Structure 1
Amino acid sequence: MNFINHKIKIYALAVMGSGIFLACAQTGNAVSSKITAEQSKSGKIIPAHLKWSERMLRSEISRFPEAWMLDYNKNPKWSYPTAIVLEGAERLYKKTGNKEYYNYITRFGDTMVKEDGTIVSYDLSKYNIDMLNCGNVLIYLYQQEKKEKYLRALQTLRSQIDGQPRTSEGGFWHKKIYPDQMWLDGLYMGEPFYANYTHEFSKGADAEKAYDDIINQFDLIQKHLSDQKTGLLYHAWDESREQAWASKKTGLSPHFWSRAMGWYGMAMVDVLDYLPQNHPGRKKLISYLKSYTDAVIKVQDKETGLWYQVLDKGGEKGNYLEATGSSMFVYTIIKSVNKGYLPKSYKTYAKKGYDGIIDNLITVDENGLVSLNKCCAVAGLGGTPYRSGSYEYYISEEVRSNDPKGTGPFILASLEFEQ
């Protein structure tokens, strides 16, 4: 029996037996001996005295003992949500020195990248921009371990950028199967990796060209997807106006989806980590971040501090306060304040949102495992079956707990507050 099949079988038994993957956690070394020792003292798997960032990461490791299982994958899959949780693991390892957090990352790299640099389940020919985000994990692992296979995999991912189909103005298509379309989601999927790779591996004119290209992606989003009245941004834009979801006049999808805007905010604040201080696009990106945040706080729920699935329709039937978008907004705002991109007064809005998540969306079970509830599992446009982008569509998608598109940003937001 090979290692991966062994893991999957243990995973299945754990689901049937306990619902929280404890058997797999123990056999897969997903919980360190330190955690086990703490459990024997406290009677809990996740001690309550830890900060929320660690409590959530340890809970995710208990639920998903291998990082490829995040997003409820049953088989190893190259999947963008994994990278967000692993970024939290990276930062917590640096903060605490707990080797288990590092092991969680490196086991993912060892499983997902073969010795020849081939990435499991990745298909370059699809030109799916979602596939680039997990490249950030490989940059970290290459920095730490200098394994040749990670460099080869990174070069393959970088080659996707060179071949990615584009709009007439140079904007990346979201996927090859979605021609002429820019989605807000795609800015987070592509640009932080593009900027990180450029910062790490490119020099001179090549680096300058890449940074200019990155800023152009944001310029095009602001030009085509921003609503002049509210400052909010629509989910997507079809340059060809051929999609049924697209306005024949503007090419825009009809609604402001919470997580799409969450992705966009995280894209801006994370790209600024790598953009040179003297690059002319830096000031522009910070101005976009300011107008974005001003629009977001106007639709923040006054009672809870959270944000609705469809941002500007809080009072409408079926709409709900959603965890992934709320976590992303909190992370974007508090990181922007900490980095000096926004005035300190904006911390009030981030704190209200963060407290709202903990008070309304977080639950803790008898073992100390932390759950983030009311996460929209997925939403998109077009495809088969066809997703119309209507209000009814957005509120009808599956809602679940512990989606990494929420738990990852929650860990990162927690770390910003815990500084």
Structure 2
Amino acid sequence: MMNNLLCKTFVMGALICSTHLAAQKVSDKQPWSVRMVESEMIRCPESWQLDFQPKLKWDYCHGLELQAMLDVYDTYGDKKMFDYALAYADTMIHKDGSIETYKLHEYNIDRLNSGKFLFRIYEQTKDEKYKKAIDLLRSQLDTHPRNEDGGFWHKKIYPNQMWLDGIYMGSTFYAEYAFRNDRVQDYPDVVNQFITVARHTYDPKNGLYRHACDVSRKERWADSVTGQSQHSWGRAMGWYAMAFVDALDFIPKHEAGRDSMLVILNNIATQLKRIQDPKTGLWYQVLDKSGEKGNYLESSCSTMFVYALFKAVRKGYIDKSYLEVALKGYKGILDNFIEVDKDGVVTITKACAVAGLGGKDYRMGDYTYYINETIRSNDPKAVGPFIMASLEWERLQQVREIVNQK
């Protein structure tokens, strides 16, 4: 009888919850950044449910979205957004600073990305468990496997490999930790990660950067001479572009090698302008095959590129003429990827769910592989950058309003 009662209670709770969610609406009077945050909070009532998760997981996607949500909170001041991010941190981090599902010995550089949103959680709560968790994540870098040139392996299970994705996951956290803890001795290593991966992945035939490189040249997907993977994947270059504009916030202007980072970032901007789809302003899943049969305009790389370009122009890293590229891309996102239902809930479509190289179900990284990976809506790797790109666009509108009023 007790089991029946519990079952009925659970069903009633689920019905109440679903009714409550169904009644929630998102106002179209709000900025796009706020609308997308509120839509995600409706889709995922508990923050640990982000990225379609059925159970607790310490994951880079949570960090990506929650960091974007904290940016919206900082801009517009709606405390429910901070509380939503805090709930994930509080759920995942134990009193001693250990992190649920995180295993340092796996040396997975993806796991460091969620450390970034913890900086602000700790800053506002002053709860020492968050500082301990941040320090735990930073300690991974002290023993993380490296190549001879100092480049971090993407994961322990991927020896000798540097992926563009990993620069965003590890080096932006590394840079912010160095800044916040006055570890000036770490900046050369941070800079080295950006420059080293560029050297390993640069394709001189088209000016793009390929997804990854195996410096040992042992993997089947790796070129026998260069060690590079076969193609320039849109999202990999998107991660890399975002990593520059975020890490540069914390790297001192006088730091040796910073000028080399700016050269690489400027090349990325040049190539993005060159391969931007002239009709929609968007970018393709496989960049070095833009416009070819089977390829498609993809939302995660497009939002990442628009965010990176907007911020790079604002910070003076690239010429202001690239603002037009970003504006065209942002309009393309709204026109081609954004859908709004009758309750105002915002959806972003056409994101590649995942793509990688090697692994158990071996991925060769050929053209056919990339264009046939699952495509889905509301993937956090598109949602987070869309929020960030929208904030940049909204900041630009506010500046223009102020200028027009003068």
Same fold (TM over 0.5): yes
Q: Structure 1 residue 92: deviation in Å?
A: 1.5
Which range moved further: 379-388 or 207-216? 207-216
Change (3 A) 1:88 1:307: same
Q: Map 1:1-80; keep pairs closer than 5 Å.
A: 13=14, 22-23=18-19, 45-80=25-60
Q: Map 1:203-222; keep pairs closer than 5 Å.
A: 203=182, 207-222=183-198
Q: Structure 1 residue 25: deviation in Å?
A: 5.0
Correspondence for 1:136 among 116, 138, 155: 116
For residue 400 of structure 2, what is the aligned residue in structure 1?
none
- Three-state SS of the structure 2 residue aligned to 1:209 is helix
Within 1, Cα distance between the matches of 2:162 and 2:19? 43
1:55-85 Cα distance to aligned partner (Å, 9 max, x none): 1111011111122211100111101011121
For residue 132 of structure 2, what is the aligned residue in structure 1?
152
Which range moved further: 165-174 or 77-86? 77-86
Within 1, Cα distance between the matches of 2:286 and 2:74? 36
Within 1, Cα distance between the matches of 2:320 and 2:243? 21
For residue 371 of structure 1, what is the aligned residue in structure 2?
347
TM-align CA RMSD: 1.8
For residue 92 of structure 1, what is the aligned residue in structure 2?
72
Q: Map 1:391-402; keep pairs closer than 5 Å.
A: 391-402=367-378
- Is 1:360 the counterpart of 2:360? The answer is no
1:243-298 Cα distance to aligned partner (Å, 9 max, x none): 00000011000001000000000001100111112212322211211011101221
Do the aligned residues in 1 keep the contact of 2:51 with 2:62 (CA within 8 Å)? yes
- Three-state SS of the structure 2 residue aligned to 1:264 is helix
Residue identity opposite 1:107 in structure 2: A
Figure out how many residues of one structure are paired with residues of the other and give that number.
Answer: 386
Q: Structure 1 residue 352: deviation in Å?
A: 0.6
Correspondence for 1:191 among 160, 165, 171: 171
For residue 404 of structure 2, what is the aligned residue in structure 1?
none
Q: Map 1:14-413; keep pairs closer than 5 Å.
A: 22-23=18-19, 45-201=25-181, 203=182, 207-413=183-389
Within 1, Cα distance between the matches of 2:229 and 2:322? 29
- Three-state SS of the structure 1 residue aligned to 2:287 is coil
1:151-202 Cα distance to aligned partner (Å, 9 max, x none): 111111011001110011000000000000000000000011001111112x
Change (3 A) 1:168 1:112: same
Do the aligned residues in 2 keep the contact of 1:22 with 1:62 (CA within 8 Å)? no
Do the aligned residues in 1 keep the contact of 2:66 with 2:85 (CA within 8 Å)? yes
Within 2, Cα distance between the matches of 1:389 and 1:219? 23
Q: Structure 1 residue 90: deviation in Å?
A: 1.0
Residue identity opposite 1:232 in structure 2: L
Do the aligned residues in 2 keep the contact of 1:25 with 1:61 (CA within 8 Å)? no
Within 1, Cα distance between the matches of 2:258 and 2:18? 46
Within 1, Cα distance between the matches of 2:20 and 2:369? 36
Residue identity opposite 2:69 in structure 1: A
Within 2, Cα distance between the matches of 1:402 and 1:136? 22
| Percent identical | 49
Task: Provide structure 2 residue ranges, at least 5 long, that are not aligned to the other structure.
Answer: 1-6, 396-406
Q: Structure 1 residue 401: deviation in Å?
A: 0.2
- Three-state SS of the structure 1 residue aligned to 2:288 is coil
Residue identity opposite 2:215 in structure 1: E
Do the aligned residues in 2 keep the contact of 1:337 with 1:347 (CA within 8 Å)? yes
Q: Structure 1 residue 24: deviation in Å?
A: 7.3
Within 2, Cα distance between the matches of 1:395 and 1:23? 38
Do the aligned residues in 2 keep the contact of 1:53 with 1:412 (CA within 8 Å)? yes
1:10-60 Cα distance to aligned partner (Å, 9 max, x none): 8x957xx9xxx845759xxxxxxxxxxxx8xxxx71000111110111101
Within 1, Cα distance between the matches of 2:382 and 2:18? 22
Within 2, Cα distance between the matches of 1:192 and 1:333? 17
Do the aligned residues in 1 keep the contact of 2:50 with 2:380 (CA within 8 Å)? yes
Change (3 A) 1:212 1:110: same
Within 1, Cα distance between the matches of 2:133 and 2:104? 11
Residue identity opposite 2:243 in structure 1: A
Within 2, Cα distance between the matches of 1:23 and 1:135? 35
Change (3 A) 1:23 1:127: farther
Within 1, Cα distance between the matches of 2:251 and 2:267? 20
* TM-score under structure 1 length normalisation: 0.89
1:343-387 Cα distance to aligned partner (Å, 9 max, x none): 211000001111001001100000100000000000000001101
* TM-score under structure 2 length normalisation: 0.92
1:202-254 Cα distance to aligned partner (Å, 9 max, x none): x3xxx232110010011111211111121100000001111000000110000
For residue 31 of structure 1, what is the aligned residue in structure 2?
none
1:85-140 Cα distance to aligned partner (Å, 9 max, x none): 11221122122221101101111111010111110110101000000000011111
Task: Provide structure 1 residue ranges, at least 5 long, that are not aligned to the other structure.
Answer: 1-5, 27-38
Do the aligned residues in 1 keep the contact of 2:201 with 2:228 (CA within 8 Å)? yes
